[in-house]
Structures are given as C-alpha cells and as structure tokens.
C-alpha cells in the first residue's frame, strides 16, 4: 500500500513546461536559473532553425545532480522525436560541452527527481549552415547592461582563447543594485594569461583580484553597480579560458551570497537575455513529497 502511495505521489507532484526557440542563435536556461531548479521537473525546449542548417549546442554552464537530474537531446518534436546517440542522459558537471545535432529541429528534455537540486544550465544554440563547421563567438571587449542575469566568457569559449588577447568587459547593473559574480569554469596559462577584476567601471577602480591557472575564484559581490574585467594572454600556450554567471541583486538583499571585494577572492559573469523565446504552457503540482524511511 505504501509503495502504491509513493508511485501516485511521483505522478501527482511532477510538473512540466514547454518552450519554443526560433532564429539563428539564442540562450536556453533551466527553470529558475541561475537559482537552483526545482524537484520533479519535466521541461521541454523546442529549437527550430531555418531549413538547410543544423543546430550546434554550447554548454556555457551545466551542473545537475548526477545521475538523477539529466538532459536528453532529441531530434524533431512532438510525436516525431528521436534521441541523439550518446546524449540521452547528460548529467553532472558538463560546462564546456558541445553537441552538433544533424537536424533543423531539436527538443531538449530536462528531468529532475524528488531530492537535491543544483544551479542547472545555460546553453547557447546556433544555426550552422549544412556542410560548414561551427566557429565559436569571439566575445572580446563588450559593454554589458544587466537586466537580471547573464553569462560572460573568454573569447571562443569553450574552445581555446587566442594568443595576444586583450579583452575588456564592463558589467553595469541598474542604479540601487549590485552584482553577484560566479565563475563556473576557469582554465588559463598560470602566471601568464590573466583575468583582472575591478570593483567599479574601469581599471582605476579598486582591484578585486587577478586570476590565473585552473582554480575557480570564489563568488564575489560588488560594492556598487559596476564591475570591470580585463583579460590578457601572452604569445604562447592557450587554454579554454573562463565562463562566469552574473546576477543583478538589490544592494539591500540580506540573503545574498559571496564576499565583499576586500576579501580579494572573486568571480565574474554575464549573459544576454534571449528575445526569440516564449513559454507555450505551464502546469505545476500542488506540492511535493518527502522521502521517509520510517515504517
């Protein structure tokens, strides 16, 4: 009788959302990102690009409970879906992962169980002309006006950044807000290829820290509404670089994470909100069950 009750609970409290994405490029986020996704998720993301093109996915951030919370990649949509070989259960830490889908239409299905949740994912899709190779975006020296949250990466991430790079990024939040920065990947030539982060709008502001090598910096909070980042690489040896998530939060938020700049131990992030996206439907259950070991 107890086993039957648990089975019914799994069905009753699961929920799902379906979203559609069109165009040549866009961003796909897990529910609540960059906050943790919810338990019992069953969400679908349908991507449609112009005929004569295929879909390339870049995992700018991906962290789920392994192996229980996972993403399945399928070609087509609706009743005409076929799982892409080797990509039926993508789970764990897969930041920097890339997938080519030999179709102009694909569906991503995200599933989570009843316990433990993580940050989830931020996935960029690009429509690539059939017969050509994907070329990563060289994001270097760009101003970012934060609306809510986003992703910032080194040039070509997750491919290697170029030698002799000099890139600047200015993150600006709305007045009365501060910026929380969290690196999700970091890999540069230690001592030679360096990211400098400043608490303010330029390199005359207080330096929060300079970061190099493979250690991921800790979360940081700005004291004002701007962060300036400068990345430089030398003439030899290059690596995958960095990916970081930014979030705009109220300066009065008492639940904020991270440390203030004087702790000198940091991290940055940014990303653009996608406009070619809409939710089709949404349904949620009335609650969730807890696992109980009692008899």
Provide the whole-model pTM.
0.79
pLDDT tens readout for residues 64-113: 999 999 999 999 988 889 999 899 999 999 999 999 999 999 999 999 99
Q: Which fold has domain 142-263?
A: Jelly Rolls (2.60.120)
Q: How many residues does this entry show for the chain?
A: 295
Distance, in Å, from the CA atom of 64 to the CA atom of 184, rounded to the nearest integer, reads 13
Q: Show the tokens assigned to 25.
A: 């490029």
- For residues 273 and 10, is the Cβ–Cβ distance under 8 A? no
Residue with tokens 């990509």, as numbered in its chain:
87
Distance, in Å, from the CA atom of 244 to the CA atom of 195, rounded to the nearest integer, reads 12
State residue 171's pLDDT score: 97
pLDDT tens readout for residues 171-215: 999 999 999 999 999 999 999 999 999 999 999 999 999 999 999
Distance, in Å, from the CA atom of 206 to the CA atom of 97, rounded to the nearest integer, reads 34
% pLDDT > 90, the chain:
73
- For residues 271 and 150, is the Cβ–Cβ distance under 8 A? yes
Average pLDDT, stretch 272-294? 31
- For residues 24 and 87, is the Cβ–Cβ distance under 8 A? no
Distance, in Å, from the CA atom of 169 to the CA atom of 153, rounded to the nearest integer, reads 10
Q: Is the dihedral of CA 222, 224, 225, 231 positive or negative?
A: negative
Domain ranges of the chain: 15-135, 142-263
- The confidence band for 265, taking pLDDT boundaries of 50, 70 and 90, is very low
CA 200 to chain centre: 24
Q: Which residues contact 114 (CB under 8 A, 6 or more apart)?
A: 10, 39, 40, 288, 289, 291
Using only the alpha carbons of the chain, give its radius of gyration.
Answer: 20
Distance, in Å, from the CA atom of 257 to the CA atom of 245, rounded to the nearest integer, reads 13
Q: Show the tokens assigned to 15.
A: 């929920």
Domain 15-135, architecture per CATH: Sandwich (2.60)
Which residue has better confidence, 120 or 257?
120
State residue 140's pLDDT score: 82
Distance, in Å, from the CA atom of 285 to the CA atom of 8, rounded to the nearest integer, reads 12
Q: What angle (nearest 5°) sits at the alpha carbon of residue 210, between those of residues 202 and 237?
A: 110
State residue 9's pLDDT score: 29
Distance, in Å, from the CA atom of 212 to the CA atom of 217, rounded to the nearest integer, reads 9
**Cα dihedral 284→73→61→121 (10° resolution):** 0
Q: Show the tokens assigned to 98.
A: 């890339």
Q: Which residues contact 271 (CB under 8 A, 6 or more apart)?
A: 27, 60, 122, 149, 150, 151, 152, 245, 246
State residue 256's pLDDT score: 58
DSSP designation for 273: P
């Amino acid at each position: 009788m107890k086993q039957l009750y648990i089975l019914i609970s799994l069905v009753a409290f699961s929920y799902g959302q379906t979203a559609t994405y069109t165009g040549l490029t866009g961003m796909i986020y897990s529910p609540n990102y960059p906050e943790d996704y919810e338990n019992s998720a069953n969400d679908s993301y349908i991507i449609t690009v112009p005929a004569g093109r295929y879909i390339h996915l870049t995992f700018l951030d991906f962290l789920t409970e392994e192996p229980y919370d996972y993403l399945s990649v399928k070609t087509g949509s609706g009743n005409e879906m076929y799982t892409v070989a080797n990509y039926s259960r993508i789970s764990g830490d897969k930041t920097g992962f890339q997938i080519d889908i030999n179709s102009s239409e694909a569906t991503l299905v995200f599933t989570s169980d009843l316990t433990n949740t993580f940050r989830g994912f931020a996935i960029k899709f690009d429509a690539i002309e059939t017969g050509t190779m994907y070329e990563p975006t060289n994001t270097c020296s760009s101003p970012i006006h934060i609306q809510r949250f986003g992703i910032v990466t080194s040039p070509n991430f997750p491919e290697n950044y170029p030698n002799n790079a000099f890139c600047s990024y200015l993150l600006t939040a709305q007045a009365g807000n501060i910026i929380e920065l969290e690196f999700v990947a970091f890999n540069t030539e230690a001592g030679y290829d360096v990211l400098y982060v400043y608490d303010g709008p330029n390199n005359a502001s207080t330096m929060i820290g300079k970061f190099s090598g493979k250690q991921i910096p800790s979360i940081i909070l700005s004291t004002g509404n701007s962060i300036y980042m400068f990345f430089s690489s030398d003439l030899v040896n290059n690596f995958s670089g960095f990916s970081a998530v930014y979030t705009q939060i109220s300066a009065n938020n008492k639940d904020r994470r991270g440390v203030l700049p004087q702790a000198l131990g940091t991290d940055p992030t940014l990303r653009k909100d996608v406009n070619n996206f809409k939710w089709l439907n949404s349904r949620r259950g009335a609650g969730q069950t807890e696992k109980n070991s009692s008899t």
